[in-house]
Structure 1
Amino acid sequence: MLATYVIGLREGLEAALIVGIIAAFLRRQGRMDALRLVWVGVSVAVALCAGVAVTLQVISAELPTRAQEGLETVVAVLAVCMVTTMILWMRRHARALKGELERAAAWALEHGSAYAMVGMAFLAVLREGSETAVFLLAVLQQPGVRAITAGGGVIAGLVTAVVIGWGIYRGGVRLNLTRFFRATGVVLVLVAAGLVMSALHTAHEAGWLNAGQSQPIDIAWLVRPGTPIAALATGVLGLQPHPALAEIVGWCCYVLPMLAVVLRQPRRPATTPRVAPEVSATS
């Protein structure tokens, strides 16, 4: 599934970039002792993220129906907040990410604290992995989404991110972060907007939202179960055959400003031309 693939790729690559840059810096400095600790920290973070995903799924499955709808609403809102923060943060910091991390790593080494870099790598993987778990659970709760397909998409995205991160670590891959995060940001905005619709729908099912439940449009002709278009419209955009007015308003209120932010070109200085950054493990 495209939505979960992009989630896995985007979240995985953010963690892979941070870990890859830190690991490459330590390798250049000859600090293999600290590098081994970084890999240990990454492994522990991955295990903790897997535990978060399993725990969320078990809790959701054991709740009664109305409580499940309430939990699905909370998870969807949390996922939307996470992805929005991620998009805005990366849009601001993508250009300077490599330099900021290397300055922090150099400061840590100068002050004899390699554990600071281990902590950065650990927290990066833990944060992105936890966000992936929450986001995946929110997507899986949408109607018409198959667990096997969605899970396969996330795994494929994570594998792609790890391959790119390894290439950055080895110094053989250069990546234009500004363009990459703008392109994936557009897809994630659409996915998050679908989660907004899903949250408003489950909030009504849980008895939390009763306003705006009229159904002004019928798009059953587009979202026909079993068709590729329906799979794309439902799985990626979160569209349903008979969306409620509140869901339509919520979708538009999220998509329009977020797409404007993501697609807006960054300001360029009047005197000094600026080239979009490329990140690699080599200086």
Structure 2
Amino acid sequence: MLATLIVTLREGVEAALIIGIILSYLHKIGLEREGRKVWLGTALATVLSIVGGFGVFLIMGTTTEGLFQQLLEGFAMLTAVIVLTYMVFWMHGGGKGMTASINAKVQAAVSSSSVTALAVLAFVSVLREGVETVLFLIGTTSSSTPGEALAGGLLGLIMAVVVGYVVFKSSRKVNIAAFFKWTSVLLLFMAAGMLSNAIGEFHEANLLPPIAKRIWDTSGFLSEDDFFGGIMMALFGYNSSPSLFQVISYVSYLAGTMYMFFRTPQKIHSTNGGTQHAE
């Protein structure tokens, strides 16, 4: 539940940031009335993402045990790691001029005088975040039941709406850059855990040799079934009895991504077109 909450909160705030940029630009050029089209596209993308996510979890939950399920979960988690890593570093670099790019698309939509252009822009922007969220949540199925995943996801979305509202309505400057910086670090830990779990699935499917099947066993001290152990597994990919291959993949991924993440300054473009730097 905790993992799904964090993922949906992070992606929800990112979607809110994009919608806020669109609405802010419409306000800047005196076309606030066009905002209803933006909200229409946002609502449609949100509903489609929720339905799609529910369908994916239903399929994952009803898949029979065996080789197919092991391969399905392993490759799903591996895909989630790749997409999550790309997203973290794309956002860390400021989204390659995200504000300017979105403003240009809004201007093009307004200039086309199309009734649906703004709705489509919002729809595509939010749906992309929704697809990313579904991919990430697939990677957390091993640490959450469908009910827990749904509860965490809904709570994360509600919190994202609140954070988004505060960011754009508060008269005080909100340090959104710090939020993205530290949630990115947490997501990289989660991705390392997903990678390790994917390796574990491939071990069970006999696709990868375990080398040393179990290099330690701390289940007597801290089990994944315990409350604290479950939190550690959801947030940091804790495994009480990992193989040597899993430990190597976890440490290598985390060391490499953390080095790349902290060696360059973070740039998060604000809604007024400026850039915030995280300290």
Which amino acid counterpart does residue 214 of structure 1 have in structure 2? K
Aligned residues: 273
User: How many Å apart are 1:82 and its aligned residue?
Assistant: 1.6
1:204 maps to 2:207: no
Say whether the 8 Å CA contact 1:5–1:157 is kept in structure 2. Answer: yes
Gaps of 5+ in 2: 275-279
Q: Name the CA distance, whole Å, in 2 between partners of 1:159 and 1:40.
A: 18
Instruction: Please show how residues 72-221 of structure 1 align to structure 2 within 5 Å.
Output: 72-93=73-94, 96-112=97-113, 115-142=116-143, 145-170=144-169, 172=171, 174-221=173-220
**1:5-51 per-position Cα deviation (integer Å, ceiling 9, x unaligned):** 22111111111100111023223434345322211111111121122
Q: Name the CA distance, whole Å, in 1 between partners of 2:115 and 2:97.
A: 22
Q: Name the CA distance, whole Å, in 2 between partners of 1:99 and 1:166.
A: 22
Which amino acid counterpart does residue 7 of structure 2 have in structure 1? I
User: How many Å apart are 1:186 and its aligned residue?
Assistant: 0.8
Partner of 2:63: 63
Q: Name the CA distance, whole Å, in 1 between partners of 2:268 and 2:188.
A: 23
Say whether the 8 Å CA contact 1:73–1:199 is kept in structure 2. Answer: yes
Alignment CA distance shift 1:10-1:252 (3 Å): same
User: How many Å apart are 1:199 and its aligned residue?
Assistant: 0.6
The sequence identity of aligned pairs, in percent, is 28
Q: Name the CA distance, whole Å, in 1 between partners of 2:7 and 2:133.
A: 7
Q: Name the CA distance, whole Å, in 2 between partners of 1:258 and 1:92.
A: 14
Which amino acid counterpart does residue 20 of structure 2 have in structure 1? G
Which amino acid counterpart does residue 166 of structure 2 have in structure 1? G
Moved more, 115-124 or 63-72: 115-124
Gaps of 5+ in 1: 268-275
Q: Name the CA distance, whole Å, in 1 between partners of 2:250 and 2:103.
A: 39
TM-score (norm 1): 0.84
Which amino acid counterpart does residue 279 of structure 1 have in structure 2? S
Say whether the 8 Å CA contact 2:24–2:272 is kept in structure 1. Answer: yes
**1:193-236 per-position Cα deviation (integer Å, ceiling 9, x unaligned):** 11001111111222322342522222324432553431222222
Say whether the 8 Å CA contact 1:194–1:239 is kept in structure 2. Answer: yes
Aligned to 2:139, the other structure's residue is in SS state: helix
Partner of 1:271: none
User: How many Å apart are 1:95 and its aligned residue?
Assistant: 8.6
Alignment CA distance shift 1:42-1:55 (3 Å): same
Partner of 2:235: 236
Partner of 1:270: none
Which amino acid counterpart does residue 4 of structure 1 have in structure 2? T
Moved more, 24-33 or 62-71: 24-33
Partner of 2:277: none
Say whether the 8 Å CA contact 1:38–1:117 is kept in structure 2. Answer: yes
Q: Name the CA distance, whole Å, in 1 between partners of 2:111 and 2:265.
A: 34
Which amino acid counterpart does residue 163 of structure 1 have in structure 2? V
Alignment CA distance shift 1:185-1:225 (3 Å): closer
User: How many Å apart are 1:238 and its aligned residue?
Assistant: 1.9
Partner of 1:50: 50
The RMSD of aligned alpha carbons is 2.7
Which amino acid counterpart does residue 132 of structure 2 have in structure 1? E
Q: Name the CA distance, whole Å, in 2 between partners of 1:58 and 1:225.
A: 23
Partner of 1:279: 270
Q: Name the CA distance, whole Å, in 2 between partners of 1:76 and 1:234.
A: 15
Which amino acid counterpart does residue 237 of structure 1 have in structure 2? F
Alignment CA distance shift 1:263-1:174 (3 Å): same
**1:98-150 per-position Cα deviation (integer Å, ceiling 9, x unaligned):** 344234423443454574443332112111112212222321223xx344444
Moved more, 2-11 or 107-116: 107-116
Alignment CA distance shift 1:99-1:261 (3 Å): same
Say whether the 8 Å CA contact 1:18–1:124 is kept in structure 2. Answer: yes
Alignment CA distance shift 1:102-1:176 (3 Å): farther
User: How many Å apart are 1:277 and its aligned residue?
Assistant: 6.1
